[in-house]
Structures are given as structure tokens and as C-alpha cells.
């Protein structure tokens, strides 16, 4: 990871941590965490892994134009990728996931990365749907419009990305010819050829967007995935002495996951916690119990998938240094 990227993520996380801790009474936060009924974490972890299985099903659906892979073989690859997101900055686990898939199934990193990026766009769109659906059903007392402003900005960004990918998927040959025309005039051949090869494989990864039925299936599975994750939020809430509606948790889920698209330290430190606390405070939940809940929820999301991913990574015969190999292979595919 380039040093400036690492420091940027660390700086953004530090800012969000400062915002999250500002004004809290840490002894009360700790007391709320100690008083929690952690038996509720058992069903929360179980439903989260059902959501991870649904993510595997979605990715299998997107990879089928390239290669059909049984879910039992694909599930460990997905888990390793999410573990990588938790321990490397800048969602670098997505690259690790594509690298493992290349090792196991000989699918080019550039092609699988295209499907991963499309996944993220659909995830962002579902988060926006959650926010738009939850606001009328769980109105925020005294909302000053800040969340709506964030949602409008994010909507523009994600819909623009979606239109771009639909365009690339619908007209791959035309886009490739256009890229070829520009590269012939602007780049030396030793750079242009590998980049065009990378682009061709990337466009192959968008095959699943060329059929309306596939798009509906990807969107449907994305909604299921994030509803299941909201159920996890609901289970963890029952471990604490407060209650908000399921729709309020949908809103929290949407806002938190939109915030985690920002660069951050590994594990979305700060970018997950501060928005979650702020959303709960808007519904009248005390800041100390909101902080305790959000921190426990974050740990319950982070720890199980990280431990399972580390296990699958060791079973795969991989080491932490393999992330560097993943970067090298991706650069070789891109001709860098």
C-alpha cells in the first residue's frame, strides 16, 4: 500500500474517532458494555453469516459468464476478501479476493475486479434505498436535513457510476475501439497494449449487466444481503437497554455503510462508529449507550469474519505477504 494512501486513511479514521469520542463519558460507555446481554450476539453472528452466504450467491451469479464455481468453493474466497477488508486499508481485501480466485479458478484479476466493483455500486444503491425508505417510516425528530444532503450527494455519485457501468456493459466493443483510438495517439505501444488487454478482461467481467434479468437478480440479492445485516443490528440492539424501530436501524445501516466508502484505517475504524452513534442520538438515544452499542456491533461485525477468513487463508496455504503478490499480479495484468 502506498504510504500516502495509508496515511490518508489513518488521518480520516483519526478525525472520525475524535468526533465519536467527543463529549462521551467513557466510564459510562464501559458500564453499558459490561451490562449488555451478550447472548444476543449468537443469533446476530448466525444471521450475518447467512448474509455472507447470500453475498457468495450474488458473486457466483455475476461470475457465471466467466466461469461457474460451486458456492462451497466460492464461499472461502469471499470470506478471505472480507477478512482482508478488515485488516488492510482502502478495502484492499477486494484485490485479495480476486487474487485468491485467480489462484484457485484461473479467472483474471481484472475480470473479477469488475464484478467486485459492480457489487459495490449495487451495495451503495441499496444503502440509498434503505435511507430513502426509512426516513418516511422512521422520521428523525428535529432533522436539520444533514442526512438528506449526504444522501443526495451519494445518490448522484452512485447513480453516475451505475450509468457508466451499464454503458460499458451495453457497448463494450465501441468503448474498446474508443479506448484503442485514444491509446494509439496518446500512449507508447509498450504501455497501450497491456492496458488495452486489461480493459478487455475488465469489460468481460461486466457481462452480467448485459441482461435485464441478471440486473434484477443482482439487485434482489443485494436487498436480501442488507436486510439480513439490518437484522443483525436488531439482534445486537436487544443486548442493550434501549429500543428503536427496525426502520431506524435500516437508516443507521445505510448511513454507516455509505460512510465506510470513505478511505479509512483497516476495519473502517471511526468511519463506522461516528455515523452510527450520531444516527442513534438523532432518535433520542443517549450518546454513551449509543457508543457502547455501536462499538459492540462493530466488533461483532469485524471479529467473526476476520477469524474465519484467517482460517481459510491458512488452509489455502497463504501468508500475509501474499497481499503484496496480489498487487504485483494485478500490476502485471495491467502492464504496470
pLDDT at 336: 46
Over its C-alpha atoms, the chain yields an Rg (Å, rounded) of 21
What value does the mean pLDDT take over residues 89-114?
86
47-51, 62-66, 178-182, 197-201, range with greatest mean pLDDT: 47-51
Q: pLDDT for 241-253, tens place per residue?
A: 999 999 999 989 9
CA distance 249 to 240: 14
| Cβ neighbour number for residue 200 with a 10 Å cutoff | 16
CA distance 82 to 93: 6
| Cβ neighbour number for residue 258 with a 10 Å cutoff | 25
pLDDT at 145: 61
Identify the burial level of 148 via C-beta atoms within 10 angstroms of its C-beta, where 0-12 means exposed, 13-18 middle and 19 or more buried: middle
pLDDT higher than threshold 90 for residue 129? no
Q: How confident is the model at residue 9 (pLDDT cuts 50, 70, 90)?
A: confident
Higher pLDDT, 170 or 236: 236
Mean pLDDT of the chain: 85
pLDDT higher than threshold 60 for residue 108? yes
CA distance 93 to 222: 19
User: Which three-class secondary structure state does DSSP give residue 205?
Assistant: coil
The structural domains of the chain, with segments of one domain joined by +, span 3-334
Q: What is the value of pTM for the model shown?
A: 0.85
pLDDT higher than threshold 60 for residue 204? yes
* Helix ranges restricted to H, the chain: 3-21, 26-35, 41-63, 71-87, 93-105, 109-137, 146-170, 172-186, 189-204, 212-237, 246-259, 273-282, 287-315, 322-334
pLDDT at 273: 93
pLDDT at 199: 77
Q: pLDDT for 280-291, tens place per residue?
A: 998 999 999 999
pLDDT higher than threshold 90 for residue 334? no
What value does the mean pLDDT take over residues 17-27?
90
C-alpha cell at 277: 452513534
CA distance 122 to 218: 8
Q: pLDDT for 67-92, tens place per residue?
A: 889 999 999 999 999 998 898 877 77
pLDDT higher than threshold 50 for residue 198? yes
* CA atoms in the 13 A half-sphere facing the CB of 296: 31
Is there a contact between 194 and 335 (Cβ–Cβ < 8 Å)? yes
pLDDT at 151: 66
| Least confident interval from 18-22, 93-97, 196-200, 294-298 | 196-200
Give, rounded to a whole angstrom, the gap between the first and last alpha carbons of the chain: 15
Amino acid at each position: 500500500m502506498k504510504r500516502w494512501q495509508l496515511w490518508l486513511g489513518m488521518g480520516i479514521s483519526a478525525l472520525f474517532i475524535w468526533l465519536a469520542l467527543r463529549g462521551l463519558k467513557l466510564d459510562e460507555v464501559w458500564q453499558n458494555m459490561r451490562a449488555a446481554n451478550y447472548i444476543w450476539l449468537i443469533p446476530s453472528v448466525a444471521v450475518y453469516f447467512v448474509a455472507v452466504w447470500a453475498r457468495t450467491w450474488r458473486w457466483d451469479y455475476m461470475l457465471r459468464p466467466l466461469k461457474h464455481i460451486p458456492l462451497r468453493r466460492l464461499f472461502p474466497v469471499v470470506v478471505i476478501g472480507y477478512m482482508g477488508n478488515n485488516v488492510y486499508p482502502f478495502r484492499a481485501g477486494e484485490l485479495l479476493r480476486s487474487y485468491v480466485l485467480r489462484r484457485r479458478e484461473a479467472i483474471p484479476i481484472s475480470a473479477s475486479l469488475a464484478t467486485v466493483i459492480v457489487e459495490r455500486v449495487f451495495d451503495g444503491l441499496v444503502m440509498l434505498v434503505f435511507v430513502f425508505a426509512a426516513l418516511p417510516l422512521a422520521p428523525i425528530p428535529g432533522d436539520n436535513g444533514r442526512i438528506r444532503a449526504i444522501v443526495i450527494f451519494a445518490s448522484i455519485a452512485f447513480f453516475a457510476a451505475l450509468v457508466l457501468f451499464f454503458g460499458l456493459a451495453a457497448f463494450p466493443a465501441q468503448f474498446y475501439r474508443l479506448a484503442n483510438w485514444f491509446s494509439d495517439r496518446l500512449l507508447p505501444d509498450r504501455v497501450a497494449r497491456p492496458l488495452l488487454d486489461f480493459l478487455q478482461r475488465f469489460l468481460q467481467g461486466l457481462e452480467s449487466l448485459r441482461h435485464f434479468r441478471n440486473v434484477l437478480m443482482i439487485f434482489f440479492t443485494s436487498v436480501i444481503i442488507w436486510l439480513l445485516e439490518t437484522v443483525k443490528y436488531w439482534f445486537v440492539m436487544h443486548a442493550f437497554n434501549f429500543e428503536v424501530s427496525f426502520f431506524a436501524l435500516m437508516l443507521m445501516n445505510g448511513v454507516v455503510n455509505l460512510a465506510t466508502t470513505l478511505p479509512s484505517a483497516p476495519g473502517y475504524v471511526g468511519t463506522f462508529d461516528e455515523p452510527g452513534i450520531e444516527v442513534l442520538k438523532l432518535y433520542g438515544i443517549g450518546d454513551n449507550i449509543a457508543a457502547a452499542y455501536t462499538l459492540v456491533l462493530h466488533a461483532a461485525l469485524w471479529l467473526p469474519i476476520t477469524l474465519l477468513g484467517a482460517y481459510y487463508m491458512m488452509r489455502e496455504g497463504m501468508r500475509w505477504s501474499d497481499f503484496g503478490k496480489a498487487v504485483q499480479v494485478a500490476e502485471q495484468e495491467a502492464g504496470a
